[in-house]
Amino acid sequence: MTLVLFILYGCQNNNSSQNNSGLIKNDEKVLDRLNNRILISNNRLIGKEIKFVENPTLSDGFTKNVLLVYNSFDCYSCLEKGYNILDKIKNESDQVNLYMIRLNKEIGENKMLNFDLNGINIIEDNDQLRNFLMETYTPVLITINKNNLITHVYHPITGVDDTQEVNNYINNTLQKL
């Protein structure tokens, strides 16, 4: 519950507890709980084989897949942050197969319509992937290697300064291509 409140809190555009740069004032307890949840989620995913019906295949020179997984109720600014990372990866390498995956096609708003999806594969409503990620909050960026193993995970959250984490995720995804 605290995580949901923190994410909603961070996604608000006009929040009185934000400083002039738009970042949430550091509440040590909330940030620690959030970091613990992310660490547990990431440790559960990294190194696992990911399988789902429309499993991305690596062909035609692609060496990795990057999935931006979200549901229709995710914070728009968090999804936008994830999309911007996906777009940066797309612009820096033509060897990464990119996907946006909406887990719940039948409900909520299709937020993908707001993005330029040229060069990005779309998958909607995948129960196997939703079950695999059941304890992982979304949106989430997942890097998968040629053996379908998860190598890197990043949760785009607005309202916190995580520039170094974003850069690490992008660099780790693009290394050894």
How many folded domains does the chain comprise? 1
Going along 22-167, which residue ranges are E strands?
Answer: 64-70, 96-102, 121-124, 140-144, 150-154
- Cα 118 versus chain centre, distance: 18
Q: What is the pLDDT of residue 56?
A: 54
Separation CA 63–CA 151 (nearest Å): 12
- Mean pLDDT, each 10-residue run in order, the chain (177 residues): 44 43 59 78 86 55 82 87 93 86 72 74 73 81 87 88 91 84
Q: What is the pLDDT of residue 6?
A: 43
Q: What is the pLDDT of residue 134?
A: 74
Residue closest to 119 by CA, chosen among 160, 152, 89: 89
Q: What is the pLDDT of residue 54?
A: 53
* CATH at 152: 3.40.30.10
Structural domain of 34? 2-174
pLDDT, tens digit, for every residue of 157-170? Answer: 888 788 999 999 99
In a 3-state reduction of DSSP, which class is residue 40?
A: helix
